[in-house]
Amino acid sequence: MTSLAGDVRDPEHQDAIGAAVARHGRLDLLVHNASELGPMLPLAEVPEPLFTSVLETNLLAPLSLTQRLLPYLIASRGILLGISSDAAVEHYPTWGTYAASKAALDHLILTLGEENGVRAYAVDPGDMRTAMHQAAFPGEDISDRPLPESVIPHLLELLSGVQPTGRYRAADLAPVGANR
């Protein structure tokens, strides 16, 4: 496994990822987890540059990176995974910028999977105790939300190959090792 920290919007970082995959010779799993919350404003008030910035992070960078790496995913019969949100399918006031980008990401991931014969998943991990979630609820105590690593066993269940391509909520997936 190789890990490369960087900004997924940066073409040079995408080049570095592509080079690392090429050196390894295969790609079994591509996870799009980078995300930008954007302004918590009614959509009618969101300045276009702020909306564009969110789309660059949450939609355009995943598309660009997937396009670069798709031949490796196809060759290995790999999996394409997009981390989504309930905001992609629910309508919350002031969440429209983020929600629209996540709804589009879901569609992008699942369409790329369908078009290219790779398993593809859009997964809503649920509310989690992250800096981004805290930014959405300034001044509120979110310590009751689970830590991000609590979702991993649910994701592993999804990646085990039992579930068909589609959109899932992590909470609906039995964690790996749970009695079925």
Cα–Cα distance for residue pair 7/34, rounded to 1 Å:
9
Instruction: Dig out the tokens for 39 from the structure.
Output: 């302004």
The phi and psi torsions of 63 (rounded to 5 degrees) equal: -65, -50
Catalytic residue chosen out of the listed positions 72, 98, 121, 168: 98
Say how many Å lie between the first and final Cα of the chain, rounded. 30
Cα–Cα distance for residue pair 42/92, rounded to 1 Å:
10
Q: Is 92 a catalytic residue?
A: no
Q: HEC profile for 22-68?
A: HHHCCCCEEEECCCCCCCCCCHHHCCHHHHHHHHHHHHHHHHHHHHH
Q: Under 8 Å CB-to-CB from 77, ≥6 apart: which residues? A: 118, 119
Cα–Cα distance for residue pair 61/68, rounded to 1 Å:
11
Sign of CA dihedral 167, 4, 7, 21: negative
By annotation, the residues acting in catalysis are 98
